[in-house]
Every structure is written in structure tokens, then in C-alpha cells.
A and B are shown apart, each in its own frame.
Chain A
Amino acid sequence: MSATAAQGWVRKNQEQNWLTRLLDWKPFLVVMCLLPAVALLMVFLTYPLGLGIWLAFTDTTIGRSGVWVGLENFEFMMEDPIFWNAVFYSVFYTAVATVGKFGLGLWLALLLNNHLPFKSFLRAIILLPWIVPTVLTAIAFWWIYNPQFSIISWVFIELGLRDSNIDFINTAWPARWSLIGANVWRGIPFVAISLLAGLQTISPSLYEAALLDGSTGWQRFRYITFPMLLPILAIVMTFSIIFTFTDFQLVYAITRGGPVNSTHLLATLAFQRGIAGGQLGEGAAIAVSMIPFLVFATLFSYFALARRKWQQGESND
């Protein structure tokens, strides 16, 4: 009798031990901790990425699963002037907007790096365009760019600089530039605040030493600020390039790719063909054609990171 009682007692104890031991057993804990994140990313990121590449080689439409058609979608794209126009505009948009954002953003960061009153307040206001939903500010820009009631046109006419309304979004080139303007407007705060954080890590003693050596302002910028800022600049630029190249919202909200398909980015074209037009296969092919560019940008980021590690020593992880 005492033996069975002892057995029962022992077993109960083992059960407790088993649960707590399992929860304290590192491999199990690691798996449990990683499971939610990894499962979510696998199901809704990795799998769709693979599926997207597969779809690009099929003729799937909405409501009908397609068959393998090999490179047909890509062959069709190669002969499609609208696709090539979208490639051109995506590259042009990314290049010009990135230069604009980083030129102005760096300038703003340098301005904010001064000893200013209300610094944190200024910083808070400046970040506002980046916080507010892009589509909603895009609608505001759409109104600002209105052909009839544009406030910019009105100001220019009142000042006597022009005598007719400015054409912002009704013909191809003005529309392209207007969209770039809106993108730059939205991008400046992110660049400026990130670079400001980088600027604040530069030790003032470097500037003091340079001042004693009789350097000019430009020299201090060129030989201290810029090289010290380069690693963070590379990372911010990679992110900026990736998200500008694959931009969708601004163009969709302001011009929807028009006038006459002149402002389509690859993403908006993929949406138009894939979701609105129902040709999922073709849309996926257009989306997949963005991947080489993104891989290139990612490698750029990777090597910039490697370089930063090399500069700061291996141990700094």
C-alpha cells in the first residue's frame, strides 16, 4: 500500500517536472518562441513570393487556375511599350526622387543639427508628413495639382509670374515631375531625421581639431561629416530606393498611371493588369520583373553593413 502511494506521489511529481522541464528545455523554448513569427512569415511572405514567381509563368486569371505557359508572359511584356514605359518611369522616378530626397534631407538634417531653440518640437513637426497616411496626403496633393483650382497656379498668377493655370497632371512630363515632387515631399522627413541621428553621433572633438587646423566649412563637411555619415547614409538610401522603386500609393492616388499610361510605375501597372484587369499571371510577371532590381539594392545594403562592421571592428555587433 505504501508502495502504491509512493508511486502515485512520484508520478505526480514527475508530471510537474516534465512540464516545467519542457518549458525550460532550450530547444523546445526556441522553437516555441520562433514559431508564431516564422509561421506567419512563411505562410504570408515566403510562400506568396514563390507562388508569385510560379504565377508569372502561367496564364492564371481571376477565377481560373492557369496552366504553365513558360516565358510567354515575359515575351509579351518585352514587346509591350507600356511595360517599357513603366520600367523607364520607375527608374527615372526612383533616381530623381532619391537625389531630391537625399539632397534636401541632408540639408535639413544639417540645419537641425545646429543649436536651436525648440529643437524637439521642430523635429516632431518635420516628421509629420511621414506619419500621416500616404494616400491621404496624396489626395491633398491631387487637390493642390488640380488643373482648375490649383493653389500654386493661383499664387503664380497673382504674383504676375504666369498668366494661365499651370498644367500639373494632365500631360505626361508635367505629371511625372509632379509625382516626383510629391514623393520628395513625403520622403524628406524620414531622410532628415535618420541622418540627424547619424550626425549627432559624430564627436564634436573632430570638428574642434579641424577648426584648430584652419579648415573651411566645406572641408569639414567633406572630410568629417560626410565620411562619418556614409554607413548610415548607405542603409537609409537602400531602404529609400527599395520603397521608392516599388511605390504604389502616390501614383495610384494622384494619376492612376495616366495620362495615357505615361506615369505607370511597375507596381501600378502590375495592379492594373493583375487585379483590376484580372490577368493574375501577367500582373505577377510584371511584379517579378522588379525582383532583380531589389536584389541589387539589397546586396548594396549588405556590403554597406559589412563595411560598417569592418570600420568599427568585428566585436561591435
Chain B
Amino acid sequence: MSATAEAPPAPSSATAPPETLSWDSKSRRMVTIWVPLACFLLILLFPFYWMSITAFKPNAELYDYNTHNPFWITSPTLDHIRLLLFGTSYPRWLLTTMTVAICSTVLSLIASTLAAYAIQRLRFKGSQYVGLGIYLAYLVPPSILFIPLATVVFQFGLFDSPIALILVYPTFLVPFCTWLLIGYFKSIPFELEECALIDGATRLQILRQITLPLAVPGLISAGIFSFTLSWNEFIYALAFIQSSERKTVPVAILTELVTGDVYQWGALMAGSLLGSLPVAIFYSFFVDYYVSSLTGAVKE
């Protein structure tokens, strides 16, 4: 936040080609690149550090900054995590979230792979309008849909059921995945499919044996992105789920752990940390896919 005050003065060496030029001295590079970069990293990562350190601090240290340095733990404890795992239904929430995220990801992947193939490869009349329609669907934010969707979910008798979430999450996953996969299918040479057609393959054989294997990186990107987005979803899960044991992790931490006037900060932070970990671990395995799908979707 303090960095807002400094206007971004476009460091002069920022746009220079990789080779260090004569005027681009080492100390200058230090000031214009490394110092701001270190500040950015510090600010971007500090909340995670603070979250982790709070999760392992005993309450005595947590609320006493004068005798204990708040940036370090003198006697780390697992009390908060134990409370979370055995005193609440946290494992249950974790399981629900995982199930919802996996099911809605699979559902959206199937739907959007087929849709993207139809739009990009079958090339029917009006395919570009269908593509545009799906793009526009991505621009409809959940915030204006959750009230009518709550009544729809109620009409279907799915209120307070994780199935409602599995069916509703594809509304924002399918547009994203379709758009991403259209881009991937576009990069696969058309000639490969033509060859197969001449050899007498049917369209479905082509999709299964030629197009899909070549689009595997795209499918992975779309899959992990969908998983992350459904793991992080909040507003639908908050509006459609009532009973405590069926909540997803983000909702449950905010509504079940925040009780009364005294907040259990240690347990709250432990819950946040544990809730973030699956995504963070997942992310660390597939960083490149994330970056490519993020930038690919934007460039499309």
C-alpha cells in the first residue's frame, strides 16, 4: 500500500535488450530493478508469511507483542491445527470442496472440449456467433446471478446440496475452458485431420485419436484452472448451502469459525493456511500451465 505513493517511473533500463549497455551500470540496475522488485515480493508474500506464522503461534504469543517479537515464534504449537481437525468438521468441508471441485471440473472439461471442437473444427454456419455467445457468458459475473440462481436451485430441489454447486460452477468454467481450448485447437494443423478423413476415419475417431492427444497441454491447463476456480468459488457456495457439514472450505471458515465476539485467530489462520495449501501445491506442480492458460486466455 505504501508503494502506491511512488509513481511508476518506468525504469529506464526496463525496456533495454538483454545485453547490459554501457550506461546501464550495475548500481543503477540495483536501484531501478532489484530494490523495487524486492519491495513487490515483500508486499505480495507478507500476508502468506503472516498467515503461516499465526497458525503455529500459541495464544500467549499471539496476543502479546511486547514480550515476544511478533515476526517469529518462540514455541511453535499445533494446537490450532488440532482444534481445527478434531474440534470442527474441517475434514468434512475439505472433502466436500474437493468433490465439488473435481466433479465440476470434469463436467466442464467434457462440455467445453466438445463445444470447442464443434466451434473450431466442425465449422458450421454461425459457429463464430456461438463462440461470441460463449465469450459473452464469461463476462456475466456471479454477483448478478446468485439471487435468481438461488430460486432456480430451489425449484430443482437442490437447495443445500453440493450437487447444486457441481451444476452451477460450469456456468463460469465452461466459457473460460471453451475459449482456452478453441485457442489450442486452432494451433493444431488442419492437415492432420484431413489426412485422417481421407483414410476413412469418422469425425469421432478423429477427435479421439488425433485432436485430443495433441490438445493435452490445453486440457491440462483448462483442468487445473477449473479446479482452482471452483476451489476458490465463494458467493454461490455461500448462498446455496445452509447446513454446516455441507459447506465448502472458504465459506465454512468464514461462517463457522467466526463465532461470537472473540475470534479464534490462530484457528482461523490455520484454516486459511490448510485451505490454501491444496491449491498452492497443485499450482507449484503446474506453474507453466497456469501461466500459459492465463496469458493464452487473455491474448485470445
A contacts, CB < 8 Å to B: 20, 23-24, 26-27, 29-30, 32-34, 36-38, 40-41, 43-45, 47-49, 51-52, 55, 60, 100, 103-104, 106-108, 110-116, 120, 122-129, 131-137, 139-141, 143-144, 146, 149, 151, 154, 181, 184-185, 188-190, 193-194, 196-198, 204, 207-208, 211, 216-218, 220-221, 224-225, 232, 235-236, 239, 242-243, 246-249, 252-253, 266-267, 270-271, 274-275, 280, 283-284, 287-288, 290-291, 294, 297-298, 301
CB A236 to nearest CB in B, in angstroms, measures: 6
Q: Please, what's the 1-or-0 string for B106-117, where 1 marks a CB less than 8 Å from any CB in chain A?
A: 010011101101
Q: Once A and B bind, how many residue pairs between them come within 8 Å at the CB atom?
A: 324
Known contacts A33-B118, A37-B112: A246-B144 contact under CB 8 Å? yes
A33 contacts B122, C-beta separation under 8 Å: yes
CB of B276 closer than 8 Å to a CB of A? yes
B144 contacts A291, C-beta separation under 8 Å: yes
A41 contacts B41, C-beta separation under 8 Å: no
A111 contacts B11, C-beta separation under 8 Å: yes
CA A236 – CA B297 in complex, angstroms?
10
B47 contacts A144, C-beta separation under 8 Å: yes
Known contacts A44-B168, A52-B147, A114-B33: A271-B239 contact under CB 8 Å? yes
CB B171 to nearest CB in A, in angstroms, measures: 5
**From A41, A208, A280, contact of B147 by CB (8 A):** A280
CB of B190 closer than 8 Å to a CB of A? no
Q: Closest residue to A52 on the B side, CB-wise?
A: B148
B contacts, CB < 8 Å to A: 1, 3-4, 7-8, 10-18, 33, 36-37, 40-41, 43-45, 47-48, 50-51, 54, 62-63, 65, 70, 107, 110-112, 114-115, 117-119, 122, 124, 130, 134, 136-137, 139-152, 167-168, 170-171, 174-175, 178, 202-204, 228, 231-232, 234-235, 238-239, 249-251, 253-254, 265, 268-269, 271-272, 275-276, 279-280, 283-284, 287-288, 290-291, 294-295, 298-299
CB B85 to nearest CB in A, in angstroms, measures: 17
A23 contacts B204, C-beta separation under 8 Å: yes
For the A-B complex with A126-B40, A134-B234, A136-B276 known, give 15 more contacts whose Cβ atoms are closer than 8 Å: A29-B118, A45-B140, A49-B145, A51-B152, A55-B148, A103-B8, A124-B287, A127-B291, A134-B232, A135-B251, A197-B298, A207-B15, A242-B141, A246-B144, A298-B136
Chain A residues with Cβ below 8 Å from B7 are: 103
B13 contacts A235, C-beta separation under 8 Å: no
A151 contacts B70, C-beta separation under 8 Å: yes
**From B14, B148, B174, contact of A51 by CB (8 A):** B148
Chain A residues with Cβ below 8 Å from B148 are: 48-49, 51-52, 55, 284
Chain A residues with Cβ below 8 Å from B44 are: 125-126, 128-129, 185, 188-189
Q: Closest residue to A31 on the B side, CB-wise?
A: B118
Most chain A beta-carbon neighbours within 10 Å: one of B239, B280, B295 = B295
Known contacts A133-B275, A291-B144, A298-B139: A41-B4 contact under CB 8 Å? no
CA A280 – CA B10 in complex, angstroms?
49
**From B3, B70, B146, contact of A104 by CB (8 A):** B3
CB B228 to nearest CB in A, in angstroms, measures: 6
CB B210 to nearest CB in A, in angstroms, measures: 15
Chain A residues with Cβ below 8 Å from B268 are: 139, 143
Interface of B is mostly: helix
**From B4, B63, B203, B287, contact of A149 by CB (8 A):** B63
A246 contacts B253, C-beta separation under 8 Å: no
Chain B residues with Cβ below 8 Å from A189 are: 44
B147 contacts A139, C-beta separation under 8 Å: no
Chain B residues with Cβ below 8 Å from A131 are: 228, 279-280, 283, 290
A113 contacts B14, C-beta separation under 8 Å: yes
CB-defined A-B contacts under 8 Å, sample of 25: A40-B171, A44-B149, A44-B171, A45-B145, A48-B145, A48-B149, A106-B8, A108-B37, A111-B37, A111-B40, A131-B228, A133-B279, A136-B276, A139-B253, A143-B50, A146-B265, A151-B70, A197-B294, A217-B11, A217-B12, A221-B14, A246-B144, A267-B235, A270-B144, A288-B144
Q: What 7 A-B pairs are tightest by C-beta distance, nearest first?
A: A217-B12, A197-B295, A33-B118, A107-B8, A37-B115, A267-B143, A52-B148
Chain B residues with Cβ below 8 Å from A208 are: 17
CA A284 – CA B144 in complex, angstroms?
8
Q: Closest residue to B152 on the A side, CB-wise?
A: A48
Chain B residues with Cβ below 8 Å from A144 are: 47, 50
A133 contacts B291, C-beta separation under 8 Å: no
Known contacts A33-B115, A134-B232: A204-B202 contact under CB 8 Å? no
**From A123, A125, A184, contact of B45 by CB (8 A):** A125
